[in-house]
Amino acid sequence: MKQSQLFTKTLRSIDKEEKSISTQFLLKSSFIYKELAGAYVYLPLGLRVLNKINDIIREEMNAIGGQELFLTSLQNPELWKKTDRWGDESVDNWFRTKLKNNTELGLSFTHEEPLTNLMKNYISSYKDLPKFAYQIQTKFRNELRAKGGIMRCREFLMKDMYSFCRDQKEHEIFYEKSKQAYINVFERCGLGDITYLTFASGGVFSKYSHEFQTLAKNGEDTIYVDKKRKLAVNKEVYNDEVLNNLNLDKKDLIEERAVEVGNIFTLGYKFSTALDLQFTNENGVKQNVFMGSYGIGPGRVMGTIAEIYNDKNGLMWPKNVSPFNVHLLDFRTNKDDKFYNILQKNNIEVLYDDRNENPGVKLKDADLIGIYYRFILSDKLGDKIELKKRTDKTNQILSQKESLDLLKKEFFK
Amino acid sequence: MKQSQLFTKTLRSIDKEEKSISTQFLLKSSFIYKELAGAYVYLPLGLRVLNKINDIIREEMNAIGGQELFLTSLQNPELWKKTDRWGDESVDNWFRTKLKNNTELGLSFTHEEPLTNLMKNYISSYKDLPKFAYQIQTKFRNELRAKGGIMRCREFLMKDMYSFCRDQKEHEIFYEKSKQAYINVFERCGLGDITYLTFASGGVFSKYSHEFQTLAKNGEDTIYVDKKRKLAVNKEVYNDEVLNNLNLDKKDLIEERAVEVGNIFTLGYKFSTALDLQFTNENGVKQNVFMGSYGIGPGRVMGTIAEIYNDKNGLMWPKNVSPFNVHLLDFRTNKDDKFYNILQKNNIEVLYDDRNENPGVKLKDADLIGIYYRFILSDKLGDKIELKKRTDKTNQILSQKESLDLLKKEFFK
């Protein structure tokens, strides 16, 4: 894409209320736009990052047998009354609305109820199990206060997967697979090294749930990390009994601030009992389905990446989630599209800064936007390219062919 | 994908209220699921069709310079009061909701207001124009009655593009390009032959708007079609003056029922005036931006395709929007994945019916689901494949290699 055509620009002034540096960078570089407190527009550059995160999540969920669907936001209260999650006393963050005939509806903040109910069409025998369904869809949560940019919103995308198994044993096999799938997602998004599988409070059917917590000094959560074993314990369950259970030693644990980028949860029979999702087992006996839920917020992952990967000049996107592979800055007096076209023909994603701006402006914008590779064309370089990664301190100068080979190696190995 | 793993099945009984055959087929084959009147879940097969339609739309919008973004559903009334579109007397289909502090919000039924307002960040000079932005996002419309399956919903996906130009002349160049892009979309979706560019009522800034109307006997609209000139006139503007204007002759026009699958509209200065979106022209004078809007409902397109392409046994998806390229039915006593794996390795999208069901069940399901190609493996065929298109009456029998070559030719020409 040619930057002269891009409808957004980098901005000089932004909303002073946004305190976090990463949110300021996301706003200044026009990845996002604040529509109202807790609701953000994804502008073209931001949507490219979000879609890359979504695609990574899809690949990993599909790899463990997940099947994608797309549920509705509008919800009929009847279903939620059966699980006692309609009233304000049990759920305090519904957005409610009404049909013209005054029928009350809700905007879904999660989707256990409608999916469990839908599954009654498809699950009747043990032969129908296990099954795994997920979606990437908008959630609405009527938070009292919205803060932290795209980290905690009133309207946001969520990948939520739900598992339906014959029993706890079958569930646990999938639950373990899902842990690895989640680890893969964060690894591919550039957060692998600093994201910890974290024990958190469970429910009736499981002593613990598991969170994926990414270390970040502005994180909302406090966790205790065993870096050697690559495990952590959320403050909410940090006590001697739990440490004993998990065979963790206080001496090995460091207190850290972190962002919850994902969680997985054993639901057990809670929803299948309330909504009557049953199957007939091998012996002809009816049983409730054993369920689990698995969430990741792609927008929060994007916000976390921005929070981790930045310097004083702007964002620094990891390779797999960078909005483009290359930011090609053209400083030449007589610009032409030749090298841009070569890159495009080779399926390299390029943002081509063909604007009539001086090099200083282009360099500053490139640092703010933070695309993985920066390539420079200039009169003094002739046919050569000056290139560096956003995270590098030093440049190298290569021929067009050499630089293309390097990109091919990096992006299509 | 293996059909034994797919979490949905074809259903024998469905909601009796759905009167249209195509909606019945979509429900029975588990492409969609009715959550509540006017809100449908897209199940895995349906989501595949919807995504193919979305991708075709994206390609055509990108080709004419469209840039994708993702706006919010939650809307602040203040913006809509400026254009007089908040009150019930001007807009009768808002879904309204409230924050915890009782602030009223709306759920967007369209997005002119927020996008026009957002563009004030990026448009200040004639050099910033023209610009074209679009999204594929959920719309909420509080219809008094919801009917017609996914054809008219309270919650539905919409591709809405908005153009921002210096003046009417620049606008008209893009407007003409958008017509062709829309024609391309419907052509690629299999609706080209029966979709007519249709003159409909305009506004202050243009005598007409344009609809894209697909002939369908259950369509909501009445249009008058000139089949030779491939044009139509909506009943709402069908009068002697208009026919004269358009140089159409009553004798050449046939009355038809049709579904509006898209529309394009000259907005002029309406929103830029109300929301103060201005630019400085070449002479240093401030001017309002000249706007247009361009809508397609991907769900409605899917519903229209289903309405057009079916027979008494089920759906018949056109090639480009079929949920899979091939439905591979395995009738063999000893099933193996070999040919399925060969197809997958060649990037052919296959639904592999590996279930332990008899051939009659598999054939019936295949007809109902309506995938473009049906391939059969059976003991009596040996290594050969029996294949036919869903729309064909007769089979052919080919070797594995021949059938693979045929697919490659068809899907990767």
Facing residue for A155 by CB, picked from B67, B74, B144: B74
Model confidence band, residue A19 (pLDDT cutoffs 50, 70, 90)? confident
CB contact under 8 A, A74 and B140: yes
Nearest residue on chain B to A27, alpha-carbon basis:
B121
Model confidence band, residue B252 (pLDDT cutoffs 50, 70, 90)? very high
Q: Please say whether the beta carbons of B335 and B220 come within 8 A.
A: no
Taking 80 as the threshold, does the pLDDT of residue B151 lie above it? yes
Taking 80 as the threshold, does the pLDDT of residue A379 lie above it? yes
Q: CA–CA distance from A266 to each of A169, A221, B32, B70, B108 (Å)?
A: 12, 21, 28, 33, 35
CB contact under 8 A, A155 and B73: yes
Tens-digit pLDDT profile for residues B200-228: 999 888 899 999 999 999 899 999 999 99
- Tell me the domains of chain B and their CATH numbers: 21-221+259-311 (3.30.930.10), 324-411 (3.40.50.800)
Taking the C-alpha atoms of residue A240 and residue B215, their distance in angstroms, rounded to an integer, is 71
pLDDT at A184: 98
Q: Which residues contact A352 (CB under 8 A, 6 or more apart)?
A: A1, A2, A3, A328, A330, A337, A340
CB contact under 8 A, A30 and B121: yes
pLDDT at B204: 83
Overall pTM > 0.95: yes
Dihedral angle, C-alpha B64, B67, B68, B69, nearest 10 °: -150
pLDDT at A44: 98
pLDDT at B283: 97
Counting one residue from chain A and one from chain B, the pairs whose CB atoms sit within 8 A come to: 143
Taking the C-alpha atoms of residue A115 and residue A110, their distance in angstroms, rounded to an integer, is 10
Backbone angles phi, psi at B344, to 5 degrees: -60, -40
Rounded average pLDDT over A56-68: 98
pLDDT at A368: 98
CB contact under 8 A, B11 and A121: yes
Facing residue for A39 by CB, picked from B41, B72, B154: B72
Facing residue for B69 by CB, picked from A36, A42, A99: A42
Tens-digit pLDDT profile for residues A223-279: 999 999 999 999 999 999 999 999 999 999 999 999 999 999 999 999 999 999 999
CB atoms within 10 A of CB B163: 28
Looking at beta carbons, which residues of chain B come within 8 Å of A73? 39, 73, 138, 140, 155
Taking 90 as the threshold, does the pLDDT of residue A374 lie above it? yes
CB contact under 8 A, A114 and B35: yes
Helix/strand/coil percentages in chain A, nearest 5: 35, 30, 35
Tens-digit pLDDT profile for residues B91-100: 999 999 999 9
Nearest residue on chain B to A10, alpha-carbon basis:
B122
Looking at beta carbons, which residues of chain A come within 8 Å of B35? 71-72, 74-76, 114
Chosen for mutation from A55, A74, A96 (greatest number of chain B CBs closer than 10 Å) is A74
CB contact under 8 A, A41 and B68: no
Taking 90 as the threshold, does the pLDDT of residue A91 lie above it? yes
The H-assigned helical ranges of B250-332 are: 270-275, 298-308
> In what helix (H) or strand (E) does residue A157 lie, and over which residues does it extend?
strand A155-165
Facing residue for A97 by CB, picked from B43, B107, B119: B107
CB contact under 8 A, A68 and B44: yes
Model confidence band, residue B413 (pLDDT cutoffs 50, 70, 90)? confident
Taking 80 as the threshold, does the pLDDT of residue B134 lie above it? yes
Looking at beta carbons, which residues of chain A come within 8 Å of B7? 67, 119, 122, 131-133
Chosen for mutation from B36, B51, B116, B158 (greatest number of chain A CBs closer than 10 Å) is B36
pLDDT at B14: 79
Q: Please tell me whether residue B285 adopts helix, strand or coil conformation.
A: coil
Q: Please say whether the beta carbons of A140 and A109 come within 8 A.
A: yes
ipTM summary value: 0.96
Looking at beta carbons, which residues of chain A come within 8 Å of B132? 7
Q: Which residues contact B345 (CB under 8 A, 6 or more apart)?
A: none
Facing residue for A69 by CB, picked from B43, B131, B138: B43
What average pLDDT does the structure give for chain B?
Answer: 96
pLDDT at B381: 96
